[in-house]
Structure 1
Amino acid sequence: MSGGEAQGKRKQWQRWLSPRYVWRRLRHNIGPKLVSLGAALVLWSVSTGDQRAQVQQSYDVPITVRDTTGASGSDERRAVSDLNPETVRVTLTGRPERLNELRPSNIEALLDVTGVPEGSFNRPVQIVAPSNTVLSKQVPERVQGFVDSELSRTLTVTLGVASPAENSLPRFEVRPSEVQATAPSRVLNQVTRVVTSPVDLDPGEEREAPLIALDSRGRVVEPVTLHPASVSVQRLDTGTLPVKTLPVVLGAPPASLRVQSQTLQPRTVRVVAAPELLGRLREVSGQVDYRVGSSTLPVTLRLPDGAQALETVSVSLVVERIKAPDPGAGAPTQQKSGASSSSGGN
């Protein structure tokens, strides 16, 4: 390209880029241009409307455990316990009307432990987002837990009732009297008894009472599945009985023994008898086999014919032996006195 042609090109570009030329070109056919720009904006708004209407919402979703280990016919059952955490915080993206109609139960947080050996684990949680939503975030992505064999055991139901009135002797029937407890083996080994929630029934009344699995310290053990989960409790007695609460009085120990301390448990007992006999009773005599040292002994209650105690009594004792005086301790003294008198006479 010759120098003249290059200079001509440069002048042409300078003219095109000058503000006056640009402004003149913009005003040329301004109406059709504005119509085209408006149509383009409408088309963009329609095509991106769904994306611009997307919002985010979070849900606390319980974890669902899947374990198909041994599903081909093995009788072994497994269970997962000590999940940490038990829920996943799931954030979804979607249209507001779609997210507002969702509940945590509509979202699946799946923990697959198929083939995981027994013991502790740390596994990822898979989130299945509902239709027309997109998973944006989950916290945490992995959870900890423990895989264990699942066992079942039959336990007798222990009845829990409110304290009865002093003048009553309630009788109850529990149906069924035994239930089956199912849990991971290391959880089930902690269960020592199954009790009913405390019930307060009138004579002849019947009520369903939920069951609770407890350990040796009386603490609730979870997770334990009880079948059935509740029992029927019926009060069989017809009401009050002639009952009277009386103090227990122990007989005196042998003369060679002395009681340093004693603690009765309980100090009183309820006695059932005919009203006229109860009216004459003021206390209950108790006999115990006293022995030297510290001991806890059963107390034998002495009641007249026709009376019966509703409680058993024990006593914690500290007993010592009393030393008997020496009968010949004063003889030598008398002999010395006699000798002195005799000597003085001489």
Structure 2
Amino acid sequence: MSTEHDHVRELLAAWAVGALLPGDEKRVPLHLAECESCAAEAERLRETVRLLDGHHRAGGAASGAAAGHPTELGGGADPVMGGASRTHANGTASVLALALRSRPAAPRVAAHAAPYAGAVSGLRALLRELETHGAWGTPVVHDWDVHGTVAHLIAADEHLARRLGLDTRVPDAHGAEEAPWEEAWSARTADVIAYEHERAPEQTVATWAGQAAALLATPEARDPELAAHATTLMGVRLPVADHFVVRAFETWIHTDDIGRALGLAVPPPPDAHLGQLVRLAVRILGLALGPAAPPVLFALARGGDDAQWVLGSEDEPVRAELVLDPVDFCLLVGGRYAPEEVPRGATGDAAAVQQVLERAASLAWL
């Protein structure tokens, strides 16, 4: 039977992001004044949210990025996504693009969790625009609207959250996952989206943001040694550190999906974070191709002289060279480009290049 302590503990993430319902606004502070363990957990979550919002930037200045204050944002060229500059529909799009570009890179987490922290911060900045302008029902991707896309991220992040000992934030209608992971994943996503569509979008955002904050507050987000342990999630066995990078990848992909649907420019991750996404994707692509594939020299159009790899067989000469922009490569792996459509530079064996592109696109489960 649920106790008052249990109920308030479930509300702490919403309290940390300022999303309590009116009936709980007095209830939570009263409990925190009496419960030392809940007070400590609440302060930890609030500090994570504070860092995500950029209140501890270099020099001690608070960031206006999340709030979208143009007077606090640096200038710069329009971001490039998918190899082509986007046209902003209005001034709001320009301000949002600058806000996302200026977002804090990460709270105080280890390097492996920093891309996820940055992606969460970026999506929070974008969703603040919807809190003002609505449009939650705008179609985004698959059969999801904006509201459903945020709900999908609750279900997607839940796999890592559960593995790290965090409680499920949406009731589980099917209990333990005994089906193959693809079926369990599809069913859980559908259940969470249906559940969240019965709630207000602001509640869904609070649940997603609270779960993200809790993930970033885990010991594994701060300790590389703990995050070095491998675990299998969504059919892929990786160190926990890499699963944080996967979460960053998906969060950014869906932030970009929402931005495209709304006509708002969403910059790519900062270069350091983008590099982590690319390196993990290349490693997984190499494993997927296997040692028997015709060898292809794969390079990034930007990223330094060391940003190149030989994919496929190590026992024969390179048959082809393939060059992609790192953002385009991530969009290809994320299922947002078809192999024949992604901008590329290629020479040599066209069939070997096509095999790499098709295998990269096949990795998408986002």
TM-score by shorter chain over 0.5: no
**Which protein has greater RCO, CA pairs closer than 8 Å, 6+ apart?**
2
> More strand per residue: 1 or 2?
1
TM-score by length of 2: 0.22
Higher gyration radius (CA)? 1
Per residue, is there more helix in 1 or in 2? 2
TM-score (norm 1): 0.23
